[in-house]
Amino acid sequence: MQTQKKRSLKDLAISNSGLVFDPESGMISTANLTGLKIIRELIDGMTPAQIRESLIFHFDVDEETAERDLQHFLAAIKQLGYTHE
Amino acid sequence: MSRVAITGLNAGDSPAPGIPVIRCLREHPSWRGKIIGLGYDALESGVLDRRMVDSAYLIPYPSAGRESLLDRIRVIHHKEKLDVIIPNLDSELSNFIAIEGELRQMGIRLYLPSEDQLKQRSKTRLSEFCQKSGIMTPETKMISSPGDIDFSEERFPVVVKGSFYEAYVAYSPDVAAKRVASLAETWGYPILIQEYVQGEEFNAVAVGDGRGGVVGAALMKKLILTERGKGWACVSIDNQRLMNLAHAIVARLKWKGPIEIEAIQSQKNGEFYLIELNPRFPAWVYLAKASGVNLPHTLLQLAMGQDLDEPEQHRSGVVFSNYTTNLVMDLSSISSLFTNGELHHENVL
């Protein structure tokens, strides 16, 4: 059975305020500051490990919090049918 | 200057395409003309909107037949000197197609498919069309009489559809049977029972040139649905597979005129399943214009035999949300619509 092809984050239109729009599917969603940062850094090609370090530095949070937020977001984008790879 | 008659002017809770079509025409930079509204009821909201229609006339219901329609159009044409008629309701199209030749002789142009093309894409023959065309569509059965109702081997949910209008998801045999009875009472038989495809609905609108080509097209996805499944808020999108589907359908039918394509993208396999082909502009056609593709104006140019504007670039990310308001007027100012079946807004103070 053919499954639906995963879409790339690079295909999304993202505003500075965190509005996320997929021009192909019409999906509209919002990302908070953390999500916005993660999504942009994924699109820029940073690895999850690099993004975790970036979150720790930028938001002054501990490693556990950064890792949790990152994994939560990666699971959310996977659930929506997007890949960051 | 163009004198264009438009039908489908109900702008209430389930808006018809007529007012959006008029907006598209009036907002084109080159528009110079008069809009003549053709309504079925004196309180059909669009006929009362002096910003949209310059004059309005009542025409006979489709069930009165082609001759009644032709007689009435003759009277209206004598007063208005119509150039083009754009019909926007499924139920009236057969009559307009039937009298297209006579109208052309009177100098009135339409841009419509043939009766055969109209039938090919009908709900009752859609499965056959899709099978021949290699297009995916949900499995559909027809109920032609009360005796045909048997949901014992049906897998639920199903979609219960009237042959012209209305569609409802039914999650049990009882609900399905009630929907069948209700639709049959309103619209008659046949009623269609369609496999329910889990997924999101996507829509396309296109204008075909009658030779298999697409003159213009736009795509959208519904964001908020009414109880009847109509798109209350929508967003324009850029989806090549959906566009390819639209082109394939128009090419296959050699469709002439406007057409709306309704498809569900299956959650399971990502394929587009064709649900309906509507042989006229949809009520969301103004979104197409707002996203860069003024299809009613294109249709007008085709009907008038004019050179077409440069093809427009359709853009995604334009949002549309329905907005209802009230039209208020003294009954006396619209009395002629009730008594004589016509109203000239320039005469109303």
What stretches of chain B show up as alpha helix (H) in DSSP? 18-26, 66-80, 90-98, 100-106, 115-120, 126-133, 173-187, 240-253, 285-290, 295-304, 335-339
Residues of A in contact with B321 (CB under 8 A): none
How many angstroms separate the CA atoms of B318 and B287, rounded? 7
Pairing of strands B272-278, B256-266: antiparallel
Q: If 0-12 CB within 10 Å is exposed, 13-18 middle and 19+ buried, where does residue B171 land?
A: exposed
Residues of A in contact with B317 (CB under 8 A): 13, 21, 23
Residues of B in contact with A26 (CB under 8 A): 200, 202, 220-221, 223, 235, 237, 316
Look over chain A and give the mean of its residue pLDDT values, rounded to a whole number: 90
In the predicted model, is pLDDT for residue B349 greater than 50? no
How many angstroms separate the CA atoms of B63 and B164, rounded? 14
Residues of A in contact with B223 (CB under 8 A): 26, 28
How many angstroms separate the CA atoms of B176 and B202, rounded? 24
What average pLDDT does the segment B220-224 reach?
93
Residues of B in contact with A23 (CB under 8 A): 237-238, 316-317
Q: Considering only the beta carbons, identify the residue of A2, A21, A24 that sits closest to B269.
A: A2
Which residues does B contribute to its contact with A (CB < 8 Å)? 200, 202, 220-221, 223, 235, 237-240, 265-271, 316-317
How many angstroms separate the CA atoms of B92 and B104, rounded? 18
Q: Would you state the torsion angle of the CA atoms of residues B96, B60, B166, B134, taken in this order, to the nearest 10 degrees?
A: -10
Please give the structure tokens belonging to residue A81: 């049918």
Structural element, H or E, at residue A66? helix A63-79
Contact A26 B271 (CB under 8 A): no
Contact B317 A3 (CB under 8 A): no
Contact A23 B220 (CB under 8 A): no
- Using alpha carbons, select from B18, B34, B28 the residue that is nearest to residue B292: B28
Contact A2 B271 (CB under 8 A): yes
In the predicted model, is pLDDT for residue A3 greater than 60? no
Q: In the prediction, which pLDDT does B348 show?
A: 53
In the predicted model, is pLDDT for residue B80 greater than 50? yes
Residues of B in contact with A13 (CB under 8 A): 316-317
> Please, which pLDDT band fits residue A1 given cuts at 50, 70 and 90?
very low
Q: What's the gap in Å between the CA of B179 and the closest CA on chain A?
A: 31
Contact B237 A23 (CB under 8 A): yes
Give the best residue of A4, A11, A82 to mutate against chain B (max B CB count within 10 A). Answer: A4
Pairing of strands B33-39, B2-6: parallel
Its ipTM equals: 0.79
DSSP assignment, residue B150? -
> Please, which pLDDT band fits residue B229 given cuts at 50, 70 and 90?
confident
What average pLDDT does the segment B6-22 reach?
93
Pairing of strands B2-6, A82-83: unpaired
Give residue-wise pLDDT tens across range B276-291. Answer: 999 999 999 999 999 9
Sheet of A19-21: strand order equals A13-14, A19-21, A28-30
Around B130, how many Cα atoms within 13 Å sit in the side-chain half-sphere? 22
Give the best residue of A6, A11, A14, A22 to mutate against chain B (max B CB count within 10 A). Answer: A22
Q: If 0-12 CB within 10 Å is exposed, 13-18 middle and 19+ buried, where does residue B298 land?
A: buried
Give the best residue of A3, A24, A80 to mutate against chain B (max B CB count within 10 A). Answer: A24
Structural element, H or E, at residue A19? strand A19-21
Contact A26 B270 (CB under 8 A): no
Q: What's the gap in Å between the CA of A51 and the closest CA on chain B?
A: 29
Q: Considering only the beta carbons, identify the residue of B237, B240, B266 that sits closest to A25.
A: B237
Residues of A in contact with B203 (CB under 8 A): none
| Sequence-separated (6 or more) residues with CB below 8 Å from residue B78 | none
Please give the structure tokens belonging to residue B236: 């324009």
Give residue-wise pLDDT tens across range A31-46. Answer: 999 999 999 999 999 9
Q: Does residue A39 come out as left (phi exceeding 0), alpha (psi in the -120 to 50 range) or beta? A: alpha
Q: Which percentage of chain B shows pLDDT scores above 90?
A: 73
Q: In the prediction, which pLDDT does B31 show?
A: 95
In the predicted model, is pLDDT for residue B67 greater than 80? yes
User: Which residue would you say has higher pLDDT here, B44 or B163?
Assistant: B44
How many angstroms separate the CA atoms of B248 and B250, rounded? 6
